[in-house]
Every structure is written in C-alpha cells, then in structure tokens.
Amino acid sequence: MAKSTSAQQSVSTVYLDPSRPIAERVGDLLARLTLDEKIGQMRHTAQAIPRLNIPAYNFWSEALHGVAGNGRATVFPQAIGMAATWDPVLIEKIASAVGDEARAKYHEALRRNGSTGMFQGLTVWSPNINVFRDPRWGRGQETWGEDPFLTGEMGTAYVRGLQGDHPKYLKVAACAKHFAVHSGPEKLRHVFNAKVSPRDLNATYLPAFKRLVTEAGVEAVMGAYNRTNDEPCCASQRLLVDTLRGDWAFQGHVVSDCGALTDFHQGHQVTKDVVESAALALKAGCDLSCVCTYDHLGEAIERGLITEDDIDRSLERTLATRFKLGMFDPPDDVPYAAIPMSVVGSPEHRQLAYEAAVKSIVLLKNKNNILPISEQARKILVVGPTAASIEVVLGNYHGLNASLTTLVEGLVARVPEGTVLNYQQVCPLTQQTEFEDGALAVASTADVVIACMGLSPLLEGEEGHANLSDENGDRAQINLPPIQVEYLTKLALSGAKVVLVLTGGSPVALGELEDLMEAIVYVWYPGQEGGTAVADVLFGDVAPSGKLPLTFPKSLEQLPPFEDYNMTGRTYRYATAEPLYPFGFGLSYTRFTYSDLALDLSTIRAGESLSLRCTLTNSGAIEAEEVAQIYLSDLEASTVVPLHSLLGFRRVHLKPGERTVITFTVTPEMMKMVNDAGKRVLEPGEFRVTVGGCSPSERGVRLGTSAPVSEVFMVTA
C-alpha cells in the first residue's frame, strides 16, 4: 500500500547539498522517508527524524505587528494602526525589522535548545488581510481595514519586508490569512457558511489575497474556519484548487487555521469523521494541519480515500518552504543566520515603532484649535481606564518589551516643568459601577482634561482571547461602554475642556459625545512607543497625519446584519448612509488645499491610460504631512459597482506655504468593473476621478478636511 516502507540512503546526500535545486533536494529527502515519518511532518508540530539529524520544527509563529508570544520583541502598533499610517514604505521597513528579530531569536533558541518550539520559528502566520467589513468583528484590529486596495498595498509591503529580497533564501516565510471571505462572527466561525456573490467575491474579498500571491510572492496561505458558499475554506475546490493554485499559480504551501479541519465533521458536518476530514482537506491542497486531524492520514490511506502520492504532493510544498529558509543548509551559507540578537528591541527598531505610532494617530475633531496643548497650560488632568493600561498599548498577538510606554507615562514625560499634571482612573473600562465623582470638581478647574477612554483587547479580539466580551471577542454594540459614556458626559457638563483620546482596534459610535468633546484623537493599540507618540502629538511636537482605514458608522442601525456577507450598505464603497467619520478621514494642525486638477484628455478609448496632475498646498502655518487620495467612480456601470474606489495615495511632507504637484496614471485595469459573473471587464462610459484628503464625502468636508477636486472623463469603445 505504501510506496516507501524504509528510508533508502543514497550515496550522495542530495538534500544536504546547497548547490542543488530545491526540487531535487526535496525529492531526495522524500525518498528517504518512511510513510510514518512523512505523516509526522504533516502537522504544524513536525516531528524530529533523528536518523537523518532533522530536529523537530513547530510551524506556528505569529508576527502581526512584531514577533508575538516569544518574549522580548519590538512591539509595533497593531495592524489596523499601521494601516492608518497609509505609508507602505514605512510598513516594509517595519516588517523587515520584524523579520530580523524573528531570525535572531530563532537561531538563538536553536543554539541554546537544539530545537525551536511554538512561536520560535521562521514560518510566521501573518499578515491578516481579511477585509474588515463589519465593525462588530473583534479580530478587525488584526487587519488593514475595509478597502481591498489599501489592504493589498499595505499587506504586500508587509510580506516583502518579512520575506526579504535575497535571491535564494527567505528571511522568514509570511502567510496570508484567512483565505477567504472571513470576518466573523467569532461565535459562529466553526459552523458558519458565508454566502457571497461572484461579484462581491472578486471585487472585495479576493483582490488583496491575489496581490500577495501574484505580486509579493507570499510563501504560505492559511485557510479560514468557516465555509464559503457551502465549501469548507480549508478544502474548497473553488478557493484552493481553481483560484489559488489554478488562476493565480500559487507555488507555496497552504496551512489550516488551528482546529479548522476538525470543524469539517464536528461543526460543518460535511464529513462523517476525522479520517474523512483529513482526506478531504489533503485532496483539496491543504498541505499542513494545525493542531488536528493529519495524524489520521494513515487510516485515510487504508480506507482508500487518499494515496501516498497525495501526502508527497503536500509534503513537497512544506519541505520546500523549509529549504528556502535555509533549515537544511550550513548557517554560514545563510546570510540571515548571522543577524545578531542585538537587533531585538534595538534603538533603530524602537524609532520605527515610534514613527509608526505617530503616523497612525488620527485627529477626528479639534474645536477652536484646543490642540496642540499650549505650553502655557498650567494644570492638566489625565483620567480614564486606558491611561495606564498596558493592554491597550499591546493589542492582541503581541510580544513584550522592557520599554512599554503607557499613555499616562508618555504624558508625564512630556509635560513642561511648571505645569501640574495629575492622574485618576475615575471609571472602569466597562463594568457599570460607581465612578469617582471627586475628579469632576478638579476637572472643571484644569486647563485641559485628557480623557483616555475606548476599547481594549479585553473587549475585542479572537475567540477565547477577549475576556470581557460576551460575544466570543466580537462586540454586540459599537458605542463606548455605558460607564464611559456616563462619565464623559458628566465631565463635559461640569465645564471641563475634554480632549478625548480613544484606544481601540475598530470603529466607535460616539452619539452625543461627539458634540461634547473639545477634541478627539483615535490612537488604536499603538505599540510600545504609544505613550510617547500620543504625548508628542497632543503637545504639537509633531502634527497628526493618520487617516482612517475604515468607516466609522453613526450607529448599528446603519449596518446590515453581522452575518450578511453581501457588501450592499457596507464600507465607504457601498454604503449610502452618512457616516460619523468617513474612510480616509483625518485632520491636521495645518490646512491643506487641493487645486488645479487636470486630466491629459477628457475622452479616451477603452484600453488607454489617463494621466492626471493636481496641486497640493500646505496653506497653514505648521509643517506637516498629508495623505493625498485618488478615487474613481464608474458613473454608467451596467451592474452594481462601488460608489467610489481607492486607486492610489501619496504621503507628502510640506512646509508652511509649500506646494507640490501630484501626478497619477489611471490604467485600464483600474477602470475595470466586476460584473455579476465575477469577471473584471472594462465598460465604456463616464467616469469621475477625485483627489482629496478623504474619501468623497460631504460629511468629511463639514468636519474639516479640505474640499476635494474632481473631473469627469469618457471612455469610448
């Protein structure tokens, strides 16, 4: 039944010869393995093979915003915060730093222990590029926002930084997850069937995955827990076979989410038992099982459900990844093996974390220019449950660092001497208990009250991680916890001038609080330098430049049901309801002006490109950065298309009075729409291009962003 019942040692050990092609080396190693040894390599905890001097290897490592779960590491802002930087150049630098730290820690663990365990490896299961379609999803903080183009840009930069640019070796192996159509609810993920149209699938849910596979060369893809259109994602003919390996020619390996294959028979009930589940996943091209199931592959062979050839096919892919990482080569041959431990938490990486935290901060409101805080302020009060919280600095899937700076620590370090700064927690994060009324009298006499409120990874996250969530990590409501709303209302009504500093990884509906606050800044889960970055922005050492990577709805009433994966009414691309804060929104301490938008032609033929130019001016008195955004609207489409689609963006640094000309080319591919059959086609008709500091939105202009400029052009057959 089995092709190989014992290992056959060849005269020349090809698999140990770094000069030979990887395919030959993999083939040679496969020929040496017994069937039992092969099966021992099919789970994420790949077993040691002592007779071939191959140590055990654990594929499970995480690096969403730094090396996670493995002690010391630089802690960068959570992914959604990095998305708010709209700075792919910075993101690639950050990912390269993360890859350096993962490499250094892997080799140090190998030297000390002779093998590596969970979270100590070079196969990092990051980034998460699922579209953040609904603010209730607790894991949205791990994503790069609601827009497929922005997600693709930032995710591609992250993968390139992680994997490096060596012609032979990977620095680490990145993993695009969770493939595909996966964004909650967490409570249902083990049984849920996401129903999605061909149009939404190809217009929203797949584009970022395609870019990471075809452009960034991501080494691994992780399947999702749920079903998509009736097929378990980790065994989907449509997703894994037809699309991933067929249309996109993916050459890397596929790993299941952890425990997802058990869901086949226990949750989705598409198979009768664990053996059938293992066989179904393997035949569809799921090459590696996390946690479960693949130790039953021998039984699947005995039942005739699979053959050893099926195992070999998948094992060739996972072994190829390990060869690309240099795991079977002398360390002297692998340049990344020489990365020293001194890079871990280095000053250079700490500076990157600071820059990312600063650029991620989004100024949502600044009434009467209360920010930046005047150096003449003599009395400042800091309140709130997130001010001294380490959890809100870290986010989920995080590392640790001796230099973690909370919000209040950053403020204390920055406040000018002679200014009195005091801190009181005053109210809890969420429990509806009495708060300290005594602080209200003090607050009314302060020059400014910095209220650190919002969400925490205790309230939102993955199933089993957010201990204070009643929805397995999701949020049933998107407003602030009632105790926070009550305190902030009383604080404002007491006469205090409140600067609201919101932490979180997802949109927050503010209701009447929006009018009561003097200023509002959203700081996400800002990483180890978060406290310093927030203080520097509040005191004006640097101007805020972050832009929202998602829409903030006014209320849940504006959203479709959580379980509905149809994009109608969702995100800035399809929603018609006026938002609280639109996608791409973010104010500055200066004023930017967009003018003189000019197209090189007003009419083009289908298949031709269109060039544009636009002048951006810093019309204010403060040096700052602006993220100029380019959107396209198809005005005469034959089916449902996005109201607006982000095509590109530029992060520009300008001194007061300085101007620059932004140029951009709209390609034929950008003009294509996705039809009802899921095909990308270019239809003749009228299009509008818009350039501005926010997605096209009357609400954005009323809130203070500069008016965008637009022009219409025609595409003829």
pLDDT in tens, 75-85: 999 999 999 99
Which residues touch 344 (CB under 8 Å, ≥6 apart)?
72, 73, 74, 101, 104, 105
Residues 612 and 660 in one domain: yes
pLDDT at residue 441 in the model: 81
Q: How far apart are CA 454 and CA 71, in angstroms?
A: 27
Single-letter residue type at 29 = L
Residues 501 and 570 in one domain: yes
Domain assignment present for residue 538? The answer is yes
The token pair that represents 181 in the structure block:
């159509």
When pLDDT is averaged across residues 2-30 and rounded to a whole number, the result is 75
Q: How far apart are CA 464 and CA 449, in angstroms?
A: 35
Residues 569 and 669 in one domain: no
Domain assignment present for residue 216? The answer is no
Of 240, 220, 132, 230, residue with least CA distance to 182? 132
Domain assignment present for residue 478? The answer is yes
Which residues touch 36 (CB under 8 Å, ≥6 apart)?
298
Clarify whether 434 is annotated catalytic.
no
Residues 602 and 496 in one domain: no
Q: How far apart are CA 63 and CA 82, in angstroms?
A: 13
pLDDT at residue 440 in the model: 83
Residues 504 and 629 in one domain: no
What's the pLDDT band for 5 if we cut at 50, 70, 90? very low
Neighbouring-strand partners of residue 503: 454, 524
Which residues touch 6 (CB under 8 Å, ≥6 apart)?
34
* Segments of 103-243 assigned E as strands: 175-179, 193-194, 220-223, 227-228, 231-232
Domain assignment present for residue 357? The answer is yes
The yes-or-no verdict on residue 7 having pLDDT over 60 is no
When pLDDT is averaged across residues 476-505 and rounded to a whole number, the result is 96
Which residues touch 638 (CB under 8 Å, ≥6 apart)?
675, 683
Of 159, 232, 242, residue with least CA distance to 198? 242
Task: Map tokens 């800002």 to a residue.
Answer: 526
The yes-or-no verdict on residue 11 having pLDDT over 50 is no
- pLDDT single digits (tens) 295-317: 999 999 999 999 999 999 999 99
Domain assignment present for residue 190? The answer is no
Residues 556 and 613 in one domain: no
What's the pLDDT band for 432 if we cut at 50, 70, 90? low
What's the pLDDT band for 439 if we cut at 50, 70, 90? confident
pLDDT at residue 4 in the model: 39
3-state DSSP assignment of residue 82: helix
Lowest mean pLDDT among 154-168, 271-285, 329-343, 420-434: 420-434
pLDDT at residue 189 in the model: 97
Show the 3-state SS of 434-502. CCCCHHHHHHCCCCEEEEEEECCCCCCCCCCCCCCCCECCECCCCECCHHHHHHHHHHHHCCCCEEEEE
Name the helix (H) or strand (E) containing 254.
Answer: strand 253-255
Is-contact 190 227, C-beta < 8 A?
Answer: no
Choosing from 547, 574, 601, the residue where a domain stops is 574
The yes-or-no verdict on residue 666 having pLDDT over 50 is yes
Clarify whether 257 is annotated catalytic.
yes
Domain assignment present for residue 182? The answer is no
When pLDDT is averaged across residues 612-638 and rounded to a whole number, the result is 98
Residues 357 and 500 in one domain: yes
In this structure, the strands spanning 610-618 and 659-666 are antiparallel
- pLDDT single digits (tens) 186-234: 999 999 999 999 999 999 999 999 999 999 999 999 999 999 999 999 9
Residues 388 and 490 in one domain: yes
Per annotation, catalytic residue among 92, 409, 460, 625: 460
Q: How far apart are CA 708 and CA 717, in angstroms?
A: 29
In this structure, the strands spanning 624-634 and 685-692 are antiparallel
Q: How far apart are CA 116 and CA 102, in angstroms?
A: 12
Which residues touch 369 (CB under 8 Å, ≥6 apart)?
589
Single-letter residue type at 477 = Q
**pLDDT mean across residues, the chain:** 96
In this structure, the strands spanning 659-666 and 253-255 are unpaired
* pLDDT above 90 coverage of the chain, percent: 95
pLDDT at residue 435 in the model: 67
- pLDDT single digits (tens) 353-393: 999 999 999 999 999 999 999 989 999 999 999 999 999 99
The yes-or-no verdict on residue 3 having pLDDT over 60 is no
Determine the distance from the C-alpha atom of residue 327 to the mean position of all C-alpha atoms in its chain, rounded to a whole number: 28
Residues 523 and 656 in one domain: no
User: How big is the CA angle at 599 (ends 594 and 601), to the nearest 5 degrees?
Assistant: 170
The yes-or-no verdict on residue 613 having pLDDT over 90 is yes
Choosing from 574, 600, 621, the residue where a domain stops is 574
Residues 413 and 548 in one domain: yes
Choosing from 545, 574, 603, the residue where a domain stops is 574
* CA end-to-end distance (rounded Å), the chain: 60
CATH number of 471's domain: 3.40.50.1700
Q: Cβ atoms within 10 A of the Cβ of 291, count?
A: 16
3-state DSSP assignment of residue 337: helix
Burial of residue 624 (CB within 10 Å: 0-12, 13-18, 19+) is: buried
Is-contact 421 359, C-beta < 8 A?
Answer: no
pLDDT at residue 569 in the model: 97
When pLDDT is averaged across residues 641-666 and rounded to a whole number, the result is 98
Per annotation, catalytic residue among 100, 101, 257, 263: 257
- The domain total for the chain is 2
**b/e per residue 472-481 (b: at least 16 CB within 10 A):** bbbbeebebb
Of 319, 306, 338, 290, residue with least CA distance to 125? 290
Q: How far apart are CA 72 and CA 528, in angstroms?
A: 12
Residues 406 and 488 in one domain: yes
Q: How far apart are CA 57 and CA 55, in angstroms?
A: 6
Radius of gyration of the chain (CA): 26
Q: How far apart are CA 444 and CA 526, in angstroms?
A: 29
pLDDT at residue 464 in the model: 87
Domain assignment present for residue 630? The answer is yes
Task: Map tokens 């946690």 to a residue.
Answer: 291
* pLDDT above 70 coverage of the chain, percent: 98
The token pair that represents 588 in the structure block:
């500055």
The yes-or-no verdict on residue 331 having pLDDT over 90 is yes
Q: How far apart are CA 371 and CA 368, in angstroms?
A: 8
Residues 611 and 560 in one domain: no
Domain assignment present for residue 375? The answer is yes
3-state DSSP assignment of residue 157: helix
What's the domain range around 650?
592-716
